[in-house]
Amino acid sequence: MTPEIKPSPAATTNNEIQRHKQGGPSVATAVTLIYVPLHLGGSHRGVSMGPAAMKVAEVAEKIEKIGFRVAREIDINVPHSVCWWDKHSTAKCVPEIAEVSQEVADAVEGALASGTIPITIGGDHSLAIGSIAGVSNHFRKLNQKFGLIWFDAHGDINTPDTSESGNVHGMPFAVALGHGDPRLVDLCGFSPKVDAKKSVLIGIRAIDAPEREIITSTGISAFTMRDIDHLGLGRVTDLALAAVGNDISGLHVSFDIDAIDPQVAPGVSTPSRGGLSYRESHLALELLAETGLVCSIDIVELNPAKDTRNKTAELAAGLILSALGQNIL
């Protein structure tokens, strides 16, 4: 059943969403690329090759062509020896994912502190535990708020108590909201990492029954593919921006490539039919970029083992350009 959409009064017309056209880089003119070959959140090991595929797609060179400087490229180490189960949790690989998450958080926070836009490239979506922690710690120290826009076919909002698989890549949204294994939830020493009322989930179409309850109870704004079909992606993006409000200092965009239909993006670990089109994906990110608020980006779940001629990596590189504000004119 599709959740009822309750836009705020401020979102009744498109004109009430305040944007400005960008001629090039906006908030920052430099980026930090953070490569995270993380596969521990799920059972699809090919996803660890995602960062390498993005390098083959020349993501750094393409970013520089639109006027940004790549200030730094960071490769995050992922442990080879893993603990698939431990006595403290039904979730898999929690100690190793916590270790990687802290390293990612430090890299993201450092990138923001240096005035660059961190772009975290995966790797499975459990890397968002670290990236969001880093963003949150940055804005917390400044006593500022930020919003979270999460694109995904799945909710990624399970907990160890609700997950049948124990795969942490199905839990990072819940962790950011303060639910889950304390070793992940309490990263950087505080929780939650983001306000549920400033969090939006877009593109969902494959949701577990417990996730429906969690989505409803947490108070996040969620837009299914049915909502997108009915309202259009532009309207949904407007509503998403209205939901996070105008009192934020930045937007973290976490984009799971399986939000896109697998006919367009075949190189993902968990494809789900009926997703976003090529143009819808770019449109959403272009509209977010026009706000001038996008301060950090995740691109996750690229699996070259399931791709065709690096097609999905090329698409992912293009999505990053749209999120950074590349315009047709």
Phi-psi region of 132 (alpha: psi -120 to 50; beta: other; left: phi over 0): alpha
- Catalytic residue (choose from 227, 256, 290, 307): 256
For 185-214, give the DSSP string. HTGGG-S-SS-GGGEEEEEE-B--HHHHHH
- Catalytic residue (choose from 44, 169, 179, 282): 169
Contacts of 195 (CB under 8 A, 6+ apart): 145
What tokens appear for 159 in the block?
A: 């907990």
Catalytic site residue 258?
Answer: yes
- Catalytic residue (choose from 96, 156, 181, 211): 156
Phi, psi of 72, deg, nearest 5: -160, 150
Can you tell me whether residue 292 is helix, strand or coil? coil
Q: What letter does residue 73 receive in the DSSP assignment?
A: E
- Catalytic residue (choose from 125, 138, 179, 282): 125
Catalytic site residue 152?
Answer: yes
For 222-252, give the DSSP string. EEEHHHHHHH-HHHHHHHHHHHH-S--S-EE
Instruction: List C-alpha distances in Å: 313 to 59, 153, 225.
Output: 9, 18, 23
- Catalytic residue (choose from 39, 138, 154, 252): 154
Catalytic site residue 169?
Answer: yes
- Catalytic residue (choose from 96, 103, 109, 152): 152
- Catalytic residue (choose from 96, 109, 258, 314): 258
Alpha helices in the chain (DSSP H): 50-56, 59-65, 94-113, 128-141, 172-176, 182-185, 209-218, 225-231, 233-244, 278-290, 311-323
Catalytic site residue 256?
Answer: yes
Pairing of strands 69-75, 294-300: unpaired
| Residues forming the active site | 125, 152, 154, 156, 169, 256, 258, 301
